Structure 1
Amino acid sequence: MDRLRLDKWLWAARFYKTRSLAAQEINKARVEVNGLAAKPARELSVGDLVRLKKEQPAMLVKVIALSAVRGPATVARLLYEETPDSVAARAHAAEQRRLAPEPALAHTEGRPTKRDRRELERARGR
């Protein structure tokens, strides 16, 4: 086998739970092959670069092998290799999220939280 449908490969490589979910994401232009928008029936071959915009930043993987069957995750991981730039970008984004301030701390208006209510009660002497 030297060529395989894109949606079938994404399903076999365990990027999506079903082929129909993979096809929906492809139709929404969240998957690119070699820098171009693709359709679910696009034939994929070994060496193609696939960009998945599932999360921020997008994941860029190189197709290492083709498989028409969905196997265990350890086998699915052998079908692709993430590019070093993609790994670095995702690690940097994870670090930025870790260092970002907690969004709830900036929220000062609206209903008081349980902690705020307890502090108010303590201040009132109850």
Structure 2
Amino acid sequence: MKIPYEKIDVELRPLIYELNKTNCLVTIGCCIGHGLTYTSEIFFKVTDENKWIKLMLRLLELNSELKECNINIYQWHRLSYDGLYFVDWKLEIEVHPRNKEAKEEESIRILRIKKRLFKRLLKY
């Protein structure tokens, strides 16, 4: 399956690319979060459970070092409109709010924190 990287939010492209290179998951959707949205989301299917567990533990270890944001990992259970049962995964990167009144400044701060974290994730 070819991933249409040109359709992915430009800030997330390098991270999505690297996650797909791990050979333990395939991304199926994502959103950087825009404006005052504190959360970025990446949805994926696990293709190699043993490799995924190792990667998940590294992500959770990195999360313990963060001060301005959290990395949250969820198993996502859902039903389709026709009753089919799906299990996917969701990786959230959630920036801690600071000043909701200064919307433009806060929006810039959120994006800056996410970009810094993405760079750390790429090195991890």
TM-score bucket (shorter structure): under 0.3
Larger relative strand fraction: 2
- Greater Rg, structure 1 or structure 2? 1
TM-score computed with the length of structure 2 as normaliser: 0.24
